């Protein structure tokens, strides 16, 4: 265990927190498109209302950790994913603004819902495309990105985009099943069944395509056969369980969400195993990209002191809003 | 097909996004400290008017804060998008600084903002005040870290260059670099002044229409009272900063004063209007007030001012933008000072709330802090060119390997989307102001999200629109 | 009274120009103290007239 590895672990931690927390927010946003009833749409948005914006801070934390700890990776990966990143940043921003303005009037609400949903959709697709781009690999020459801005517009990245979208939607549906009152809950159940299986199916297709696109991935199987087999098994069985439990009333409402989270986490773990020890996958290790010791020390001291406090507050915030989202929404 | 310059496009894109962004934290810092003052006064006196003032300005603060957050996220990635080479080299230095900004400020603000916005019914008044204070403290930490990072770019220290990388040798000197200790108070004062003139301008608007009189009088009094103290300190700090930058970045101050010659004429005028020709290294037109250049800049009756030709041509910033940004900031500061003095006179004679031309001036000056802050930042950033890290890395060498066409595409997209943000913010804030504090709904709504701060205002707007039918 | 503002402005700039930062600092401090005094006096007056 050395400093760059510690920073890399924190980077993974921040990124995972972001994906899990904002994943269901984006998922719920996307699901708005599938819901015709305005009142249920209101309830769906209310279900993510109390807790959604602290999540974005973890995205900044991940980005800045990359900048501070692995500046070479930051300077190569960000230009490499220039267009999806800009699309993601702007759609997250539009989502934020439309979230507030959808309440402005009943007449405009449908349009703001479309912006909210569209922003969530684009953000999810962009993040998925970036995952695909990481797997594909980026062209590097002499420590600089040497490819073009359209490198990431490949069928494979479209596939990963769709996969991540399906994953977020599943997670979002799981959240709605947990938090929603009757109408939202049954809507979520109906979506969960096919979403979980779609997520599973897309992941299988993506995994097969990935090995074709990135031959190095085959080596990963060789390196961690047991771990990856277990993760794959867990992933698949969670999907099947979600589909089975989706509409049943004798299963607790939170089960689907927990299982969907397990799916996302096992997916991230698999990617982590595939990429480790590289921070620019398959090309540059985290040690090669690391900044000097002084930078890691400074950052990690701050991290060590402050992260427990941050986690404490976040847990508190979620606990304040535990239980079902009130049917009449948050207004008095 | 015209040749697009990627360096210029990268700079324009970053300049646009950072300019738009800085408007909102500047307002937020000013407003949140005003809220601290007002809530403290409410707790101390129990006067409900203070509570009304708190709730009214809270709505506007929350919106400003939200837009600041959204546009700030963009910036943390834009270093890499537009200036990848800079990120690679400077990442080890500014990365940890911004990382600590996220940890000690962003999370702190996010943590307590929920209570601040919606906790009135759920926590006691003291804990609520504590939450307001915590958010305010968070904004100070935020300014502190980001100014440390930017000041390091202006007056770098504490690093060594090893094998083509910056390595930090002394974190204390990185953070407490020669300009940070003066630039931090300068920026904080700018933000507080922005808040003071904003609240004063809005109050003056109400008084001119004989609306919300109690609210407006009290807010105006607090706003202009603060402004008097703040502008005095700010002018002092500003002059101190001038001396600091003269020492560490002479090229910037040479450009700011508008002289080209190695040594200006004696006695030197203070220039107000110039049409500089950078290629010919001279002014085509030059208008100024005689003698004042020597007096103000050299503290003597015949002193000469150093011109930009003292700096080699390939290290000169562009004079026109630096000169005019600096003059703009300076003029606004002087206008603020004048209004502060006048406000004291009017107070003494009991005519502060009734002198109409003064109130109209305040309304005009409501956004003055924002304009001055932007002007000051343009002086700072354009004056640092052609360097991105002064003396160490040129902007032209710090770019991303992204083609110009892509940069243009995203620049246009940013402008379009930010226009939506900006318009929405303006429309909504103006509606809130037009409705006034009397139109506020009964109590705060229970939801923990930052941006849901808009909900009370939206609910009120709906009620208002419904009542108009 | 507009002239007061202008006069103050000019005076301030002359001080800062001719005598430098220290004198200006002293002048500004005096200004702040005056401001606080005036504000305190006017708020006492407000309380008297408005209750």
Asked if residue B448 lies in contact with residue A320, where contact means CB atoms within 8 angstroms, the answer is yes
Angle CA B93–B98–B100, to nearest 5: 105
Q: Which position has the higher pLDDT, A297 or B456?
A: A297
Per-residue model confidence (pLDDT) at position B54: 94
Structure-token match 């003052």, residue found: B37
- CB within 8 Å: C35 and B340: yes
Compute the average pLDDT of residues B22-48: 94
Taking residues B197-204, what's their average pLDDT? 97
Residues A104 and B458 sit within 8 Å (Cβ to Cβ) = yes
What is chain A's mean pLDDT, rounded? 88
**Residue B268, number of CB atoms within 10 A of its CB:** 28
Average pLDDT over residues A29-47: 89
DSSP A253: T
Q: Which residues of B fall within a CB distance of 8 Å from C43?
A: 221
| Contact call for A77 and B80, based on CB within 8 A | yes
User: Is pLDDT of B263 > 90?
Assistant: no
A-interface mutation test, from B87, B95, B110, B142, most A Cβ less than 10 A away:
B95
Cα–Cα distance for residue pair B187/B233, rounded to 1 Å: 12
User: Burial, B371: exposed, middle or buried (Cβ in 10 Å; 0-12, 13-18, 19+)?
Assistant: middle
Residue B8 reports pLDDT greater than 50: yes
Residue B2 has pLDDT above 80, yes or no: no
Q: Is the pLDDT of residue B445 over 60?
A: no
Phi, psi of A145 (to 5 degrees): -65, 130
pLDDT at position B448: 37
- Residue-by-residue DSSP string for B238-289: HHHHHHHHHHH-HHHHHHHHT--SSB--SSPPEEEEEEEETTTTEEEEEEEE
Sign of the four-CA dihedral C37, C38, C40, C44: positive
Point out the least confidently predicted range of A87-91, B297-301, B356-360: B297-301
Residues of C in contact with B290 (CB under 8 A): none
CB within 8 Å: B295 and C18: yes
Q: What residue in B sits closest to C39 (Cα-Cα)? A: B225
Residue in chain C closest to B333 (alpha carbons) equals C9
Contact in structure between B229 and C36 (CB atoms under 8 Å): yes
- Cβ distance C34 to B344 less than 8 Å, yes or no, reads yes
Whole-number pLDDT of residue A222: 83
Asked if the model's pLDDT at residue B235 lies above 50, the reply is yes
Residue A4 has pLDDT above 80, yes or no: yes
Query: For all residues of chain B together, what is the average pLDDT?
Result: 89
Q: Taking an 8 Å Cβ-Cβ cutoff, which residues of chain B contact chain C?
A: 217, 221, 225, 228-229, 232-233, 235-236, 239-240, 243, 292, 295-297, 299, 334, 337-342, 344-350, 352
Asked if residue B50 lies in contact with residue B38, where contact means CB atoms within 8 angstroms, the answer is yes
Mean pLDDT calculated for residue range A5-32: 93
Q: Report whether pLDDT(B387) > 80.
A: yes
In B, minimum Cα distance to C43 occurs at B221
How much is the pLDDT for B14?
Answer: 95
Residues of B in contact with A94 (CB under 8 A): 417, 420
Beta carbons of A272 and A231 less than 8 angstroms apart: no
The SS3 assignment for B159 reads: strand
Q: Among all residues of chain A, which has the CA nearest to that of B427?
A: A101
Task: Please check the confidence at residue B457 and state whether its pLDDT lies above 60.
Answer: no
Of B96, B402, B452, the CB nearest to A299: B96
Q: Which of A200, A241, A54 is nearest to B106 (CA)?
A: A54
Q: How far apart are CA B156 and CA B356, in angstroms?
A: 49
The helix/strand/coil state of B201 is helix
Q: How many CA atoms lie within 13 A of A290 on its CB side?
A: 21
Count other Cβ atoms within 10 Å, centred on residue A198. Answer: 20
Upper half-sphere CA count for residue B237 (Cβ side, 13 Å): 19
Q: Is the pLDDT of residue B200 over 90?
A: yes
The verdict on A100 touching B (C-beta cutoff 8 Å) is yes
Instruction: Check CB contact under 8 Å for A306 and B461.
Output: no
* Record: contact A64-B99, CB cut-off 8 A: yes
Confidence (pLDDT) at B118: 66
C1:B346 CB<8 A? yes
For residues B421 and A97, the answer to whether their CB atoms sit within 8 Å is yes
Q: Tokens 């797997």 map to which residue? A: A135
pLDDT tens digits, one per residue of B102-150: 998 988 888 788 778 766 666 788 888 998 999 999 999 999 999 999 9
Higher pLDDT, B427 or A329: B427
Q: Give the C-alpha separation, B407 to B428, whole Å.
A: 31
Mean pLDDT of A311-323: 73
Distance between CA atoms of residues B133 and B258, nearest Å:
43
Q: B3: left (phi > 0), else alpha (psi -120 to 50), else beta?
A: beta
The reported pLDDT for the residue numbered A104 is: 47
Q: In chain C, which residue ranges form alpha helices assigned H by DSSP?
A: 2-14, 21-50
pLDDT in tens, B405-421: 999 999 999 999 999 88
User: Quick one: pLDDT at residue B451?
Assistant: 40
Judged against a pLDDT cut of 90, whether residue B440 lies above it is answered with: no
Q: What is the pLDDT of residue B444?
A: 41
Rounded Cα distance, A43 and A179, in Å = 10
Q: In this complex, do A78 and B400 lie within 8 Å of one another by their Cβ atoms? A: yes
Q: What count of CB pairs under 8 Å joins B to C?
A: 84
Instruction: List, for residues B420-431, the tens digit of each pLDDT value.
Output: 889 988 988 898
**Residue C19 contacts B where some CB pair is shorter than 8 Å:** yes
Q: Using CA atoms, how far apart are residues A259 and A251, in angstroms rounded to an integer?
A: 12
Query: C16 and chain B: CB distance < 8 Å anywhere?
Result: yes
SS3 label, residue A328: coil
- Secondary structure tally for chain B: helices H, strands E: 15, 6
Quick one: which of A242, A272, A232 has its CA closest to A16? Answer: A272
For A193-236, the pLDDT digits (tens) are 999 999 999 999 999 999 899 888 888 878 888 888 899 999 99
Give the model confidence (pLDDT) of A98-129 as tens digits. 766 665 456 677 888 888 899 999 999 999 99
Do B and A touch (≥3 CB pairs < 8 Å)? yes
The answer to whether the beta carbons of residues B319 and B296 sit under 8 Å apart is no
Higher per-residue confidence, B123 vs A38: A38
Residues with Cβ within 8 Å of residue A298, at least 6 apart in sequence: B96, B100, B168, B171
- What was the pLDDT predicted at B449? 40
Comparison of pLDDT for A86 and B107, the residue scoring more: A86
pLDDT in tens, B63-104: 888 888 889 999 999 999 999 999 999 999 999 999 999 998
Contact of chains C and A by CB distance (3 or more pairs under 8 angstroms):
no
The verdict on a CB contact (< 8 Å) between C2 and B342 is yes
- Asked if A294's CB is within 8 angstroms of B104's CB, the reply is no
Mutate to test the interface with B, among C42, C44, C47 (most CBs of B within 10 A): C42
**Environment class of A315 (CB within 10 Å of its CB; exposed 0-12, middle 13-18, buried 19+):** exposed
Would the CB atoms of B221 and C4 count as touching at under 8 Å? no
The stretch B152-169 carries a mean pLDDT of 92
Considering only A46-55, A102-111, B121-130, B460-469, which range has the smallest mean pLDDT? B460-469
Strand residue runs (E) in B292-402: 387-389, 393-394
Q: Kindly report the nearest CA distance between residue B365 and chain A, in angstroms.
A: 28
Rounded Cα gap, residues B411 and B182, in angstroms: 33
Residues of B in contact with A145 (CB under 8 A): 84, 400-401
Contact C37, C45 (CB under 8 A): no
CB contact under 8 A, A92 and B80: no
Q: What is the pLDDT of residue B292?
A: 83
A77: tokens are 């990966």
Residue of B nearest to A48 (CA): B449
Residue A181: predicted pLDDT: 84
Helix (H, G, I), strand (E, B) or coil at A181: coil
Is the pLDDT at A257 greater than 50, yes or no? yes
Q: Over the stretch B364-386, which tens digit does the pLDDT of each residue have?
A: 999 999 999 999 999 999 999 99
**Statement: residue C41 has pLDDT above 50:** yes
Distance (Å, whole) CA B156 – CA B168: 11
Neighbours of chain C (3+ CB pairs under 8 A): B
Which chains are within 8 Å of A by 3+ CB pairs? B
C33 vs chain B: nearest CA distance in angstroms?
Answer: 9
CA B57 to the chain's CA centroid: 19
Contact between B296 and C9 using a beta-carbon 8 Å cutoff: no
CA distance B224 to B238: 20
Tokens 């707790």 belong to B43
Residue B443 has a pLDDT of 41
Name the CA radius of gyration of chain A, rounded.
20
What angle, 0 to 180 degrees and rounded to 10, lies between the N-to-C axes of helices B213-248 and B6-45? 130
Higher pLDDT, B302 or C46: B302
Work out the average pLDDT over A269-279: 89
Sort B51 into a burial class: Cβ within 10 Å, 0-12 / 13-18 / 19+: middle
């Amino acid at each position: 265990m050395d400093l760059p590895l510690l920073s890399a672990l924190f980077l993974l931690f921040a990124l995972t927190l972001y994906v899990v927390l904002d994943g269901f927010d984006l998922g719920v946003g996307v699901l708005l498109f599938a819901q015709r009833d305005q009142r249920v749409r209101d309830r769906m948005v209310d279900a993510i209302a109390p807790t959604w914006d602290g999540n974005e801070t973890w995205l900044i934390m991940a980005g800045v950790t990359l900048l501070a700890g692995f500046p070479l990776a930051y300077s190569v990966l960000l230009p490499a994913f220039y267009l999806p990143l800009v699309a993601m940043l702007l759609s997250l921003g539009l989502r934020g603004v439309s979230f507030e303005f959808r309440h402005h009037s009943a007449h405009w609400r449908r349009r703001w819902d479309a912006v909210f949903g569209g922003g969530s959709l684009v953000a999810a697709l962009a993040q998925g495309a970036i995952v695909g781009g990481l797997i594909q690999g980026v062209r590097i020459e002499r420590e600089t990105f040497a490819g073009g801005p359209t490198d990431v517009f490949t069928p494979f990245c479209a596939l990963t985009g769709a996969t991540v979208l399906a994953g977020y939607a599943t997670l979002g549906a799981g959240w709605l099943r947990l938090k929603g009152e009757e109408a939202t809950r049954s809507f979520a159940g109906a979506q969960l069944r096919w979403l979980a299986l779609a997520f599973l199916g897309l992941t299988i297709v993506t995994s097969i395509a990935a090995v074709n696109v990135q031959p190095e991935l085959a080596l990963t199987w060789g390196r961690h056969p047991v771990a990856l087999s277990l993760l794959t098994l867990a992933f698949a069985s969670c999907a099947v369980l979600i589909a089975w439990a989706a509409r049943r009333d004798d299963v607790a409402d939170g089960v689907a969400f927990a299982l969907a989270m397990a799916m996302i986490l096992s997916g991230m773990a698999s990617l982590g195993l595939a990429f480790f020890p590289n921070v620019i996958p398959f090309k540059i290790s985290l040690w090669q990209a690391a900044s000097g010791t002084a930078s890691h020390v400074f950052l990690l001291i701050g991290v060590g002191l402050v992260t427990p406090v941050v986690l404490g507050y976040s847990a508190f915030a979620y606990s304040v809003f535990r239980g079902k989202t009130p049917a009449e929404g948050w207004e008095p | 097909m015209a040749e697009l310059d990627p360096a210029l496009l990268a700079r324009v894109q970053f300049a646009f996004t950072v300019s738009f962004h800085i408007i909102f934290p500047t307002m937020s810092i000013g407003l949140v400290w005003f809220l601290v003052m007002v809530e403290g006064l409410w707790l101390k006196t129990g006067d409900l008017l203070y509570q009304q003032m708190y709730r009214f300005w809270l709505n506007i603060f929350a919106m400003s804060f939200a837009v600041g957050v959204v546009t700030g996220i963009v910036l943390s990635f834009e270093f890499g998008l537009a200036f990848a080479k800079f990120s690679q080299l400077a990442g080890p230095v500014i990365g940890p600084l911004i990382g600590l900004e996220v940890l000690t400020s962003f999370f702190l603000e996010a943590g307590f903002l929920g209570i601040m916005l919606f906790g009135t019914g759920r926590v006691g008044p003291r804990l609520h005040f504590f939450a307001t204070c915590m958010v305010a403290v968070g904004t100070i930490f935020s300014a502190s870290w980001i100014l440390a990072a930017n000041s390091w770019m202006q007056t770098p220290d504490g690093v060594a260059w090893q094998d083509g990388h910056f390595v930090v040798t002394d974190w204390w000197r990185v953070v407490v670099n020669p300009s940070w200790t003066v630039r931090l108070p300068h920026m904080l004062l700018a933000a507080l002044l922005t808040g003071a003139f904003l609240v004063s301008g809005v109050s003056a608007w109400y008084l001119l229409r004989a609306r919300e009189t109690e609210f407006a009088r009290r807010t105006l009094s607090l706003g202009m009272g603060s402004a008097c103290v703040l502008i005095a300190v700010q002018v002092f700090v500003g002059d101190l900063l001038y001396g600091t930058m003269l020492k560490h970045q002479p090229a910037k101050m040479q450009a700011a004063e508008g002289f080209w010659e190695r040594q200006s004429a004696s006695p030197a005028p203070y220039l107000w209007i110039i049409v500089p020709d950078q290629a010919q290294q001279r002014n085509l037109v030059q208008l100024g007030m005689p003698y004042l250049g020597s007096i103000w800049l050299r503290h003597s009756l015949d002193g000469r001012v150093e011109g930009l030709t003292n700096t080699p041509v390939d290290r000169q910033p562009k004079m026109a933008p630096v000169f005019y940004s600096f003059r703009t900031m300076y003029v606004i500061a002087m206008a603020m000072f004048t209004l502060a003095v006048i406000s004291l006179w009017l107070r003494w004679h009991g005519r502060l709330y009734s002198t109409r031309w003064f109130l109209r001036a305040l309304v005009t000056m409501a956004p003055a802090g924002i304009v001055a802050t932007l002007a000051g930042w343009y002086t700072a950033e354009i004056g640092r060119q052609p360097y991105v890290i002064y003396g160490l890395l040129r902007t032209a060498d710090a770019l991303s390997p992204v083609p110009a066409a892509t940069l243009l595409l995203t620049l246009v997209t940013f402008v379009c989307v930010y226009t939506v943000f900006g318009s929405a913010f303006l429309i909504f804030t103006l509606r809130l102001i037009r409705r006034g504090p009397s139109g506020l709904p009964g109590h705060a709504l229970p939801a923990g999200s930052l941006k849901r701060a808009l909900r009370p205002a939206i609910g009120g707007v709906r009620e208002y629109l419904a009542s108009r039918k | 009274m507009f002239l007061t503002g202008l006069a103050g402005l000019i005076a301030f700039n002359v001080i800062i120009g001719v005598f430098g930062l220290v004198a200006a600092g002293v002048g500004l401090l005096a200004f702040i103290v005056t401001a606080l005094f005036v504000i305190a006096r006017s708020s006492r007056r407000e309380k008297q007239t408005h209750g």
